[in-house]
């Protein structure tokens, strides 16, 4: 169990946040209720109140009126802790046990006789309760928040042992200096790993957050972006970006989408360059093949011409030999004297 401590200057602002969330969240819930034609449901449920009520506006006014009467100069007038159970502790405690823990916390911290109210939030994987405590008691004294962090940690360890809750181990001093927080949950929610896998896959496919959101909705998730980034899966389980860890907040996802887009553009440019180089290389290869083919055809043509010249030369030699032979035959042929036909008659 983790308890985060804080103080506020406004009863009304703290109570309104505990009931409705931020203005953006309240507006989004109102728009969703109108779109679905159903009554508006606040983010927080008033789980318990002492010496004040009934809604956040009434609570803020009642505490403010008492402050003006008893100690109007007090600035940080409200103590605003939040009590967070681990995700794996969901369903382990009865409502009576949860209410008992709230009362024990008030006794342990010393504001059990002050005005205070508690709202339950169920918008994340872990169940958590937000307090608004009037630091001004009915005796007129101001509740002392000194060493509150140490006191809430002591109370958390005590409740973990008493109710067999998930025990939280403090961070090292080095991590404490880096984060400013000394405790953290390592969630064992079985829905986190599949959601991370889907987010990682969708980020690689889209160039902007709008496309990412649409793809996640197509996969069966309801994506809330009014206050932070949250998801509701097909089974109705709500998961906040903080539950998913580093790299899954809205601004971090947008950075990853942009990096992926630039990477894809560089990859496409490299692919086009490679294709262009391959095209040029192919053209060069075709030109070389054509040149080689032309050379081969030219060589064949020259070879044919040489053969034809040799053949023509042979034929000419044969003709010349035949002509010489005829001449020789004529020269060697016998000659006969001419007869005088007239005289013989």
pLDDT in tens, 22-53: 888 899 889 999 999 999 999 999 999 999 98
CATH 3.30.930.30 fits 2-179, yes or no: yes
Q: What is the dihedral of CA 249, 124, 18, 137, to 10 degrees?
A: -110
pLDDT in tens, 199-232: 999 998 888 898 999 999 999 999 988 777 889 9
Contact (CB, 8 A) for 118 and 51: no
**What number of H helices and E strands is found in the chain?**
11, 10
pLDDT in tens, 124-180: 888 999 999 999 998 889 998 888 888 998 999 999 999 999 887 654 433 334 334
Note the pLDDT of residue 173: 39
Note the pLDDT of residue 344: 53
Name residues whose C-beta falls within 8 Å of residue 133's C-beta, 6 or more positions apart in sequence: 78, 79, 80, 81, 111, 114, 115, 116, 143
Q: Is a pLDDT exceeding 80 seen at residue 184?
A: no
Note the pLDDT of residue 171: 46
Per-domain boundaries in the chain: 2-179, 196-253
Which residue is listed with tokens 């507006």? Answer: 27
Note the pLDDT of residue 283: 85
């Amino acid at each position: 169990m983790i308890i985060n401590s804080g103080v506020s200057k406004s009863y009304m602002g703290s109570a309104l946040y505990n009931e409705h969330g931020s203005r953006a969240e309240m507006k989004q819930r109102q728009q969703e209720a109108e779109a679905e034609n159903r009554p508006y449901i606040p983010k927080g449920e008033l789980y318990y109140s002492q010496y004040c009520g009934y809604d956040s506006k009434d609570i803020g006014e009642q505490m403010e009126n008492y402050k003006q009467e008893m100690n109007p100069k007090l600035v940080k007038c409200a103590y605003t802790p939040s009590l967070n159970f681990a995700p794996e502790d969901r369903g382990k405690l009865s409502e009576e046990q949860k209410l008992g823990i709230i009362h024990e916390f008030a006794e342990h911290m010393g504001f059990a006789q002050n005005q205070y109210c508690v709202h339950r939030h169920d918008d994340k994987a872990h169940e958590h309760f937000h307090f608004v405590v009037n630091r001004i008691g009915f005796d007129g004294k101001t509740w002392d928040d000194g060493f509150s962090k140490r006191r809430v940690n002591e109370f958390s360890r005590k409740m973990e042992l008493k109710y067999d809750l998930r025990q939280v181990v403090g961070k090292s001093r080095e991590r404490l200096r880096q984060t400013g927080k000394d405790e953290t949950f390592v969630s064992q929610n079985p829905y986190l790993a599949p959601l991370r896998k889907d987010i990682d896959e969708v980020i690689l496919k889209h160039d902007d957050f709008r496309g990412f959101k649409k793809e996640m909705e197509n996969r069966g998730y309801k994506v809330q972006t009014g206050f932070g980034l949250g998801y509701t899966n097909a089974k109705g389980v709500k998961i906040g970006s903080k539950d998913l860890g580093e790299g899954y907040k809205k601004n971090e996802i947008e950075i990853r989408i942009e990096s992926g887009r630039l990477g894809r553009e560089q990859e496409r440019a490299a692919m086009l360059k490679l294709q262009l180089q391959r095209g040029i290389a192919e053209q060069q290869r075709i030109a070389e093949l054509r040149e080689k083919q032309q050379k081969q055809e030219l060589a064949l043509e020259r070879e044919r011409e040489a053969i034809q010249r040799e053949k023509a030369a042979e034929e000419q030699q044969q003709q010349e030999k035949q002509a010489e032979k005829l001449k020789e035959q004529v020269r060697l042929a016998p000659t006969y004297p001419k007869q005088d036909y007239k005289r013989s008659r």
